[in-house]
Amino acid sequence: VKRIGILTGGGDCPGLNAVIRGVTKPALDHGLKVFGILDGFEGLVEGRAQELYNRDVSGILSKGGTILGSSNKGDPFHWPEEVEGKIKIVDRSKEALKNYEAWNLDAIIAIGGDGTMHISKKLSDMGMNIVGVPKTIDNDLEATDLTFGHDSAVFVVSEALDRLHTTASSHHRVMVIEVMGRYAGWIALNGGLAGGADVILIPEIPFEWKAVYDHVLMRNMMGKRFSIVCVAEGAKPKDGTLITKGKDIKRTDPLQLGGIGEYVAKKIAENTGLETRYTVLGHLQRGGSPTPFDRILSTKFGVSAINLVIKKQFCKMVALKGNEIKSVRIQDAISHQKLVKPNDQAVLAAMAVGVNFGVEKF
Protein backbone atom coordinates (compact mmCIF):
# COMPACT_ATOMS: atom_id res chain seq x y z
CA VAL A 1 0.00 0.00 0.00
CA LYS A 2 1.53 3.29 -1.09
CA ARG A 3 -1.17 5.84 -1.79
CA ILE A 4 -4.41 6.31 0.10
CA GLY A 5 -7.36 8.67 -0.17
CA ILE A 6 -9.44 9.95 2.73
CA LEU A 7 -12.87 11.58 2.60
CA THR A 8 -15.61 12.78 4.93
CA GLY A 9 -19.22 12.22 3.83
CA GLY A 10 -22.61 13.34 5.17
CA GLY A 11 -23.29 15.95 7.85
CA ASP A 12 -20.36 17.47 9.70
CA CYS A 13 -19.69 16.21 13.19
CA PRO A 14 -17.24 17.06 15.99
CA GLY A 15 -14.24 14.74 15.77
CA LEU A 16 -13.93 14.48 11.96
CA ASN A 17 -10.67 16.43 11.95
CA ALA A 18 -9.33 14.31 14.79
CA VAL A 19 -9.92 11.19 12.64
CA ILE A 20 -8.23 12.81 9.61
CA ARG A 21 -5.24 13.58 11.82
CA GLY A 22 -5.32 10.08 13.36
CA VAL A 23 -5.12 8.55 9.87
CA THR A 24 -2.68 10.95 8.23
CA LYS A 25 0.10 11.23 10.82
CA PRO A 26 0.78 7.48 11.12
CA ALA A 27 0.27 7.03 7.35
CA LEU A 28 2.96 9.61 6.58
CA ASP A 29 5.23 7.98 9.18
CA HIS A 30 4.80 4.72 7.25
CA GLY A 31 5.91 6.48 4.08
CA LEU A 32 2.46 6.49 2.49
CA LYS A 33 1.12 9.35 0.42
CA VAL A 34 -2.25 10.66 1.63
CA PHE A 35 -4.77 12.44 -0.60
CA GLY A 36 -7.64 14.35 0.93
CA ILE A 37 -10.66 13.94 -1.37
CA LEU A 38 -12.70 17.14 -1.18
CA ASP A 39 -16.40 17.37 -0.27
CA GLY A 40 -16.97 13.68 0.25
CA PHE A 41 -17.88 11.46 -2.70
CA GLU A 42 -18.57 14.60 -4.72
CA GLY A 43 -14.80 15.15 -4.96
CA LEU A 44 -14.24 11.51 -5.92
CA VAL A 45 -16.67 11.82 -8.83
CA GLU A 46 -15.47 15.26 -9.90
CA GLY A 47 -11.78 14.51 -9.46
CA ARG A 48 -11.05 16.98 -6.67
CA ALA A 49 -8.36 16.01 -4.16
CA GLN A 50 -5.23 17.44 -2.60
CA GLU A 51 -2.21 15.81 -1.07
CA LEU A 52 -2.06 16.08 2.72
CA TYR A 53 1.16 16.78 4.58
CA ASN A 54 1.94 16.93 8.28
CA ARG A 55 1.40 20.69 8.34
CA ASP A 56 -2.17 20.21 7.03
CA VAL A 57 -3.19 18.01 9.94
CA SER A 58 -1.28 19.74 12.66
CA GLY A 59 -3.40 21.82 15.05
CA ILE A 60 -6.74 20.39 13.87
CA LEU A 61 -7.45 17.96 16.74
CA SER A 62 -9.74 20.36 18.56
CA LYS A 63 -11.36 21.92 15.49
CA GLY A 64 -15.01 21.24 14.60
CA GLY A 65 -16.19 20.45 11.07
CA THR A 66 -13.89 18.89 8.49
CA ILE A 67 -10.88 20.42 6.73
CA LEU A 68 -11.79 18.30 3.67
CA GLY A 69 -15.33 19.62 3.32
CA SER A 70 -18.37 17.34 3.17
CA SER A 71 -21.54 16.90 1.22
CA ASN A 72 -24.62 14.74 1.54
CA LYS A 73 -25.59 15.25 -2.10
CA GLY A 74 -22.66 13.44 -3.70
CA ASP A 75 -23.90 9.85 -3.97
CA PRO A 76 -22.10 8.60 -7.14
CA PHE A 77 -24.92 6.09 -7.77
CA HIS A 78 -27.73 8.66 -7.38
CA TRP A 79 -26.33 11.88 -8.72
CA PRO A 80 -28.85 14.67 -9.33
CA GLU A 81 -28.16 16.38 -12.65
CA GLU A 82 -30.07 19.16 -14.33
CA VAL A 83 -31.14 18.15 -17.82
CA GLU A 84 -33.28 20.65 -19.76
CA GLY A 85 -34.47 22.36 -16.57
CA LYS A 86 -35.39 19.06 -14.89
CA ILE A 87 -33.49 17.13 -12.21
CA LYS A 88 -32.52 13.67 -13.43
CA ILE A 89 -30.80 11.04 -11.29
CA VAL A 90 -27.75 9.60 -13.01
CA ASP A 91 -25.11 7.00 -12.11
CA ARG A 92 -21.60 8.50 -12.01
CA SER A 93 -19.92 5.64 -10.17
CA LYS A 94 -17.74 4.83 -13.19
CA GLU A 95 -16.21 8.32 -12.98
CA ALA A 96 -15.51 7.69 -9.27
CA LEU A 97 -13.68 4.47 -10.18
CA LYS A 98 -11.80 6.22 -12.98
CA ASN A 99 -10.49 8.89 -10.59
CA TYR A 100 -9.55 6.26 -8.00
CA GLU A 101 -7.49 4.54 -10.69
CA ALA A 102 -6.09 7.77 -12.16
CA TRP A 103 -4.85 8.84 -8.72
CA ASN A 104 -3.31 5.39 -8.32
CA LEU A 105 -4.97 4.89 -4.96
CA ASP A 106 -4.52 1.61 -3.12
CA ALA A 107 -7.37 2.36 -0.72
CA ILE A 108 -9.81 5.00 0.54
CA ILE A 109 -10.73 5.65 4.15
CA ALA A 110 -14.34 6.86 4.15
CA ILE A 111 -15.54 8.62 7.30
CA GLY A 112 -19.29 8.94 7.51
CA GLY A 113 -22.65 7.60 8.63
CA ASP A 114 -25.13 5.17 7.21
CA GLY A 115 -25.23 6.76 3.74
CA THR A 116 -21.44 6.82 3.43
CA MET A 117 -21.19 3.14 4.45
CA HIS A 118 -23.86 2.12 1.88
CA ILE A 119 -21.97 3.93 -0.89
CA SER A 120 -18.66 2.45 0.35
CA LYS A 121 -20.08 -1.07 0.10
CA LYS A 122 -21.19 -0.49 -3.49
CA LEU A 123 -17.83 1.05 -4.45
CA SER A 124 -16.06 -1.93 -2.83
CA ASP A 125 -18.14 -4.23 -5.03
CA MET A 126 -16.80 -2.30 -8.04
CA GLY A 127 -13.25 -3.03 -6.99
CA MET A 128 -12.19 -0.15 -4.74
CA ASN A 129 -10.47 -0.94 -1.45
CA ILE A 130 -12.38 0.88 1.27
CA VAL A 131 -12.15 1.08 5.05
CA GLY A 132 -14.98 2.86 6.87
CA VAL A 133 -14.99 4.99 10.01
CA PRO A 134 -18.44 5.45 11.60
CA LYS A 135 -19.58 8.98 12.35
CA THR A 136 -22.85 10.45 13.54
CA ILE A 137 -24.02 12.61 16.41
CA ASP A 138 -27.20 10.45 16.37
CA ASN A 139 -25.33 7.32 17.61
CA ASP A 140 -27.71 5.08 15.65
CA LEU A 141 -25.23 2.62 14.11
CA GLU A 142 -25.74 -0.88 15.50
CA ALA A 143 -22.26 -2.20 14.68
CA THR A 144 -20.46 0.12 17.09
CA ASP A 145 -21.19 0.78 20.74
CA LEU A 146 -20.69 4.50 20.14
CA THR A 147 -20.03 6.88 17.28
CA PHE A 148 -17.82 9.92 17.74
CA GLY A 149 -19.72 13.21 17.79
CA HIS A 150 -22.47 11.85 20.01
CA ASP A 151 -20.74 12.79 23.25
CA SER A 152 -20.14 16.33 21.95
CA ALA A 153 -23.82 16.70 20.98
CA VAL A 154 -24.90 15.40 24.39
CA PHE A 155 -22.56 17.92 26.03
CA VAL A 156 -24.23 20.79 24.13
CA VAL A 157 -27.72 19.56 25.07
CA SER A 158 -26.72 19.14 28.70
CA GLU A 159 -25.26 22.65 28.85
CA ALA A 160 -28.35 24.09 27.14
CA LEU A 161 -30.58 22.39 29.71
CA ASP A 162 -28.50 23.84 32.55
CA ARG A 163 -29.04 27.28 31.04
CA LEU A 164 -32.75 26.74 30.44
CA HIS A 165 -33.20 25.72 34.08
CA THR A 166 -32.37 29.31 35.05
CA THR A 167 -35.31 30.85 33.21
CA ALA A 168 -37.58 27.90 33.96
CA SER A 169 -37.15 28.23 37.71
CA SER A 170 -37.06 32.05 37.83
CA HIS A 171 -40.22 32.46 35.73
CA HIS A 172 -42.01 29.25 36.82
CA ARG A 173 -42.26 28.11 33.24
CA VAL A 174 -42.29 24.92 31.27
CA MET A 175 -39.29 25.02 28.94
CA VAL A 176 -39.39 22.69 25.95
CA ILE A 177 -36.19 21.94 24.06
CA GLU A 178 -36.13 20.16 20.69
CA VAL A 179 -32.96 18.21 19.94
CA MET A 180 -31.64 16.30 16.90
CA GLY A 181 -31.25 12.56 16.42
CA ARG A 182 -33.33 11.85 13.30
CA TYR A 183 -35.15 8.49 13.88
CA ALA A 184 -33.30 7.76 17.13
CA GLY A 185 -33.73 9.13 20.64
CA TRP A 186 -30.14 8.80 21.89
CA ILE A 187 -29.35 12.53 21.97
CA ALA A 188 -32.61 13.37 23.78
CA LEU A 189 -32.18 10.46 26.20
CA ASN A 190 -28.52 11.01 27.10
CA GLY A 191 -28.68 14.81 26.88
CA GLY A 192 -31.91 14.89 28.89
CA LEU A 193 -30.48 12.58 31.52
CA ALA A 194 -27.27 14.64 31.80
CA GLY A 195 -29.17 17.93 31.94
CA GLY A 196 -31.81 16.83 34.45
CA ALA A 197 -34.87 16.98 32.16
CA ASP A 198 -38.23 16.22 33.80
CA VAL A 199 -39.83 14.81 30.65
CA ILE A 200 -37.99 13.11 27.77
CA LEU A 201 -39.87 12.30 24.57
CA ILE A 202 -38.19 9.95 22.08
CA PRO A 203 -39.31 8.26 18.84
CA GLU A 204 -38.90 4.76 20.30
CA ILE A 205 -41.53 5.41 23.02
CA PRO A 206 -44.61 7.04 21.44
CA PHE A 207 -46.03 9.42 24.04
CA GLU A 208 -49.46 10.21 25.41
CA TRP A 209 -50.30 13.88 25.73
CA LYS A 210 -52.16 13.35 29.00
CA ALA A 211 -49.11 11.77 30.64
CA VAL A 212 -47.05 14.84 29.73
CA TYR A 213 -49.68 17.32 30.99
CA ASP A 214 -50.21 15.31 34.20
CA HIS A 215 -46.49 15.18 34.92
CA VAL A 216 -45.86 18.93 34.63
CA LEU A 217 -49.07 19.71 36.57
CA MET A 218 -48.09 17.21 39.27
CA ARG A 219 -44.69 18.88 39.60
CA ASN A 220 -46.43 22.22 40.02
CA MET A 221 -48.70 20.83 42.72
CA MET A 222 -45.65 19.49 44.55
CA GLY A 223 -44.18 22.98 44.62
CA LYS A 224 -41.74 22.46 41.74
CA ARG A 225 -43.10 25.30 39.67
CA PHE A 226 -41.12 24.60 36.52
CA SER A 227 -40.45 21.73 34.16
CA ILE A 228 -37.92 20.95 31.48
CA VAL A 229 -39.18 18.87 28.56
CA CYS A 230 -36.53 17.44 26.22
CA VAL A 231 -38.04 16.37 22.88
CA ALA A 232 -36.24 14.40 20.16
CA GLU A 233 -37.00 15.75 16.68
CA GLY A 234 -38.39 12.33 15.73
CA ALA A 235 -40.65 11.93 18.81
CA LYS A 236 -44.28 11.15 18.06
CA PRO A 237 -47.52 11.13 20.01
CA LYS A 238 -49.49 7.88 20.19
CA ASP A 239 -52.64 9.55 18.88
CA GLY A 240 -51.14 9.89 15.39
CA THR A 241 -51.65 13.69 15.21
CA LEU A 242 -48.07 13.93 14.11
CA ILE A 243 -45.99 11.57 12.08
CA THR A 244 -42.31 12.36 12.24
CA LYS A 245 -39.51 10.82 10.31
CA GLY A 246 -36.44 12.52 11.61
CA LYS A 247 -36.66 16.04 10.32
CA ASP A 248 -39.49 15.25 7.90
CA ILE A 249 -42.71 16.01 9.69
CA LYS A 250 -46.17 15.34 8.35
CA ARG A 251 -48.75 17.51 10.03
CA THR A 252 -52.22 16.23 10.68
CA ASP A 253 -53.10 18.73 13.41
CA PRO A 254 -53.61 22.39 12.46
CA LEU A 255 -52.20 23.36 15.88
CA GLN A 256 -48.78 22.30 14.75
CA LEU A 257 -46.83 25.22 13.39
CA GLY A 258 -43.13 24.43 13.22
CA GLY A 259 -41.19 21.44 14.46
CA ILE A 260 -42.21 19.08 17.22
CA GLY A 261 -40.72 21.30 19.96
CA GLU A 262 -43.01 24.18 19.07
CA TYR A 263 -45.98 21.82 18.80
CA VAL A 264 -45.35 20.22 22.18
CA ALA A 265 -44.93 23.63 23.82
CA LYS A 266 -48.17 24.91 22.33
CA LYS A 267 -50.13 21.83 23.43
CA ILE A 268 -48.73 21.99 26.98
CA ALA A 269 -49.58 25.70 27.28
CA GLU A 270 -53.13 25.16 25.99
CA ASN A 271 -53.86 22.10 28.07
CA THR A 272 -52.22 22.99 31.38
CA GLY A 273 -52.48 26.79 31.46
CA LEU A 274 -48.78 26.91 32.39
CA GLU A 275 -46.54 29.50 30.81
CA THR A 276 -44.44 27.65 28.25
CA ARG A 277 -41.55 28.46 25.91
CA TYR A 278 -39.59 26.37 23.43
CA THR A 279 -36.06 26.32 22.04
CA VAL A 280 -34.84 24.43 18.98
CA LEU A 281 -31.18 23.63 19.47
CA GLY A 282 -30.57 22.71 15.80
CA HIS A 283 -27.08 22.69 14.34
CA LEU A 284 -25.51 24.05 17.53
CA GLN A 285 -25.41 20.36 18.47
CA ARG A 286 -23.07 19.57 15.58
CA GLY A 287 -20.80 22.57 15.69
CA GLY A 288 -17.65 23.48 17.53
CA SER A 289 -14.94 21.61 19.31
CA PRO A 290 -15.25 17.88 20.12
CA THR A 291 -15.28 16.82 23.77
CA PRO A 292 -12.13 15.08 25.12
CA PHE A 293 -14.00 11.75 24.89
CA ASP A 294 -14.73 12.32 21.18
CA ARG A 295 -11.15 13.46 20.49
CA ILE A 296 -9.84 10.23 21.99
CA LEU A 297 -12.37 7.99 20.22
CA SER A 298 -11.79 9.75 16.88
CA THR A 299 -8.02 9.41 17.19
CA LYS A 300 -8.31 5.70 18.04
CA PHE A 301 -10.70 5.19 15.09
CA GLY A 302 -8.32 7.00 12.71
CA VAL A 303 -5.27 5.04 13.83
CA SER A 304 -7.18 1.72 13.67
CA ALA A 305 -8.45 2.55 10.18
CA ILE A 306 -4.96 3.16 8.79
CA ASN A 307 -3.75 -0.03 10.47
CA LEU A 308 -6.49 -1.97 8.66
CA VAL A 309 -5.40 -0.42 5.36
CA ILE A 310 -1.76 -1.34 5.99
CA LYS A 311 -2.86 -4.92 6.76
CA LYS A 312 -5.00 -4.87 3.57
CA GLN A 313 -8.16 -5.59 5.57
CA PHE A 314 -10.60 -3.92 3.20
CA CYS A 315 -14.37 -3.52 3.13
CA LYS A 316 -14.21 -3.27 6.92
CA MET A 317 -15.41 -0.57 9.30
CA VAL A 318 -13.76 0.23 12.62
CA ALA A 319 -16.07 -0.10 15.61
CA LEU A 320 -16.01 0.37 19.36
CA LYS A 321 -16.88 -2.83 21.22
CA GLY A 322 -16.71 -2.37 24.96
CA ASN A 323 -13.38 -0.64 25.52
CA GLU A 324 -11.71 -1.96 22.40
CA ILE A 325 -11.60 -0.84 18.80
CA LYS A 326 -12.42 -3.77 16.54
CA SER A 327 -13.46 -4.09 12.93
CA VAL A 328 -16.67 -5.33 11.35
CA ARG A 329 -17.61 -6.01 7.74
CA ILE A 330 -19.15 -2.91 6.16
CA GLN A 331 -22.16 -4.93 4.98
CA ASP A 332 -22.84 -5.98 8.59
CA ALA A 333 -22.47 -2.40 9.79
CA ILE A 334 -25.27 -1.12 7.57
CA SER A 335 -27.79 -3.85 8.11
CA HIS A 336 -29.23 -2.59 11.42
CA GLN A 337 -30.11 0.77 12.88
CA LYS A 338 -29.52 1.10 16.62
CA LEU A 339 -32.56 2.50 18.41
CA VAL A 340 -33.22 3.06 22.11
CA LYS A 341 -34.85 0.07 23.77
CA PRO A 342 -37.46 0.91 26.42
CA ASN A 343 -35.48 -1.23 28.88
CA ASP A 344 -32.15 0.50 28.11
CA GLN A 345 -30.24 1.21 31.33
CA ALA A 346 -30.33 4.95 30.64
CA VAL A 347 -34.15 4.85 30.32
CA LEU A 348 -34.47 2.85 33.53
CA ALA A 349 -32.05 5.15 35.38
CA ALA A 350 -33.93 8.22 34.17
CA MET A 351 -37.23 6.74 35.33
CA ALA A 352 -35.70 5.88 38.69
CA VAL A 353 -34.87 9.54 39.23
CA GLY A 354 -38.36 10.68 38.28
CA VAL A 355 -38.14 11.38 34.53
CA ASN A 356 -41.38 10.86 32.63
CA PHE A 357 -41.29 9.49 29.06
CA GLY A 358 -44.81 10.61 28.19
CA VAL A 359 -46.35 7.32 29.25
CA GLU A 360 -48.03 6.22 32.46
CA LYS A 361 -46.50 2.77 32.28
CA PHE A 362 -44.65 0.71 29.67
Residue 60 C-beta: closest distance to ligand F6P, Å: 21
Residue 206 C-beta: closest distance to ligand F6P, Å: 19
Active site residue 138: yes
**Nearest to ligand F6P of 198, 233 (CB atom):** 233
Nearest Cα neighbor of 117 from 69, 75, 67 is 75
Q: In whole angstroms, what is the distance from residue 61 CA to residue 177 CA?
A: 30
Residue 105 C-beta: closest distance to ligand F6P, Å: 27
**Nearest to ligand F6P of 60, 284 (CB atom):** 284
**Nearest to ligand F6P of 182, 300 (CB atom):** 182
**Nearest to ligand F6P of 204, 233 (CB atom):** 233
Positions that interact with ligand F6P (CB under 6 A): 11, 136-138, 180-182, 233, 246-247, 286
From the candidates 12, 39, 75, 138, give the one annotated as an active-site residue: 138
Q: Judge whether 14 and 299 are in contact, CB under 8 Å.
A: no
Nearest Cα neighbor of 147 from 177, 120, 184 is 184
Q: Which residues line the annotated binding site?
A: 11, 73-74, 113-116, 136-138, 173, 180-182, 233, 277, 283-286
Q: Which residues line the annotated binding site for Mg(2+)?
A: 114
Q: Judge whether 299 and 307 are in contact, CB under 8 Å.
A: no
Residue 107 C-beta: closest distance to ligand F6P, Å: 26
Q: Rounded to whole angstroms, what are the CA distances from 198 to 15, 39, 142?
A: 30, 40, 28
Q: In whole angstroms, what is the distance from residue 278 CA to residue 263 CA?
A: 9
Which DSSP string corresponds to 241-300?
SEEEETTEEEE-STT--SSHHHHHHHHHHHHH---EEEEE-GGGGT-SPPPHHHHHHHHH
Query: Annotated active-site positions, please?
Result: 138
